[in-house]
Amino acid sequence: MESTNSDNQLNSSPEKQKWCIHQSLYEFHGFWFTKAYLETTKRVVETFKPLPTDVILASFPKTGTTWLKALLYSITHRSPHDDTVLTLNHPQELVPSLETNLYVRKRDGETLLHDDVAKKGRILATHAPHQILQDALNSCDCKIVYVTRNPKDTLVSLWHFLQKSKEFEDDPWELEAAVDQFCNGIVPFGPYYDHVLGYREESLSKPHKVLFVTYEELKENPRVHVKRLGEFLGCPFLGESGEEQAEKIVKLCSFEVLSNQEINKSTEFPDSGFPLPYNSFFRRGEVGDHFSCLGDDMIQKIDGVTTLKFHASGFHYGI
């Protein structure tokens, strides 16, 4: 995809596709967005300027963002005397998201909430595809961590998540339609496959800048990947005390511990105006959860697309 910042798609009227009964998605440089995310993503593309000291956590929705927010915060703010940060703060608030928290307009007015303070060591999250954000991301030496997850588990997680949203109360997203739309790429921030491949290609050509990690490998051996993240971010876990710290972070950020913190169990809605309560970011946190709700035909359909998009391009993942 060509450079995006300068061309006129930022201002032209986007192509629209029906998504759910009342909802539409809007196309922007080959990716699909809800109306609200289209507006904030465009604003991010137009104005976001990362700092060389920034860590950008990029992900397709429901692939492990909350987990990585907790991990990245803990890895970079290591303090042997303070375990309370994750007890008192929701990971989504510890690490703000560009499109959800920082580049939104406040409900009560026109003020932009974007964080233009030149703070060192920021961790910022985004669901924006690399193809769209590449000019900003390549404008300095910031580090990028990208997390991905098996497509079937990602879809199932997204489907459950949106069932809980107020916006979907009268407008349920049928599972069969969800599978078709996921396969066709018409889901928020989709196509999933292009999203993953965009960051993966970047991680292969610039491994010092982009670290690509999968939800499944993190689940299988979290300590190894926590140490890999520390190394990549320039704060390695050294010696015996480093091993202990890494182990402690793995435990504090595990699904079992994190999902049982009061703040993360809360049914309150975040101040940011997000339409779902705090507890909606924690559901089952398992690998292979799609077996609990996708039928064989649905699995075959998604696997077919995965073979075509991932395996054919040399990425043997997702089946």
Eight-class DSSP state of 231:
H
Dist CA 7 CA 309 (whole Å): 28
Eight-class DSSP state of 89:
S
Work out whether 157 is an interface residue with ligand PAP (CB under 6 A).
Answer: yes
The least distance separating ligand PAP from the CB of residue 111, rounded to whole angstroms, comes to 24
Dist CA 256 CA 43 (whole Å): 36
Q: Which is nearer to ligand PAP, 62 or 225 (CB)?
A: 62
- Residue 86 is which amino acid? L
Sheet with 143-148, edge to edge strand ranges: 123-126, 55-59, 143-148, 210-214
- Residue 267 is which amino acid? T
Q: Which is nearer to ligand PAP, 45 or 250 (CB)?
A: 250
Q: Looking at 172-180, 202-210, 225-233, 247-255, which segment touches ligand PAP (CB under 6 A)?
A: 247-255
Work out whether 40 is an interface residue with ligand PAP (CB under 6 A).
Answer: no
**Residue pair 76/245 in contact by the 8 Å Cβ criterion:** no
Q: Would you name the residues annotated as active-site residues? A: 127
The least distance separating ligand PAP from the CB of residue 96, rounded to whole angstroms, comes to 12
Work out whether 73 is an interface residue with ligand PAP (CB under 6 A).
Answer: no
The least distance separating ligand PAP from the CB of residue 160, rounded to whole angstroms, comes to 5
SS3 112: strand
Work out whether 253 is an interface residue with ligand PAP (CB under 6 A).
Answer: yes
Eight-class DSSP state of 100:
I
DSSP string, 119-166: -TT-EEEE---HHHHHHHHTTS--EEEEEE--HHHHHHHHHHHHHTSG
Work out whether 255 is an interface residue with ligand PAP (CB under 6 A).
Answer: yes
| Burial zone of 189 (CB within 10 Å; 0-12 exposed, 13-18 middle, 19+ buried) | buried
Q: Looking at 24-32, 108-116, 198-206, 254-262, which segment touches ligand PAP (CB under 6 A)?
A: 254-262
Q: Which is nearer to ligand PAP, 283 or 311 (CB)?
A: 283
Task: Give me the 263-292 binding string for ligand PAP, x by CB under 6 A, dash otherwise.
Answer: ------------------xxxxx---x---
Site for ligand PAP in 41-60 (CB under 6 A): 59
Work out whether 74 is an interface residue with ligand PAP (CB under 6 A).
Answer: no
- Tokens for 278? 């705090």
Work out whether 64 is an interface residue with ligand PAP (CB under 6 A).
Answer: yes
Q: Looking at 5-13, 33-41, 74-82, 153-161, which segment touches ligand PAP (CB under 6 A)?
A: 153-161
The least distance separating ligand PAP from the CB of residue 134, rounded to whole angstroms, comes to 21
Prior bond of 172 cis (ω within 30°): no
**Residue pair 99/128 in contact by the 8 Å Cβ criterion:** yes
Binds ligand PAP by CB under 6 A, chosen from 25, 95, 178, 258 = 258
The least distance separating ligand PAP from the CB of residue 258, rounded to whole angstroms, comes to 4
Dist CA 53 CA 35 (whole Å): 31
Given the rule CB under 6 A, which residues bind ligand PAP? 59, 61-67, 153, 157, 160, 253-255, 258, 281-285, 289
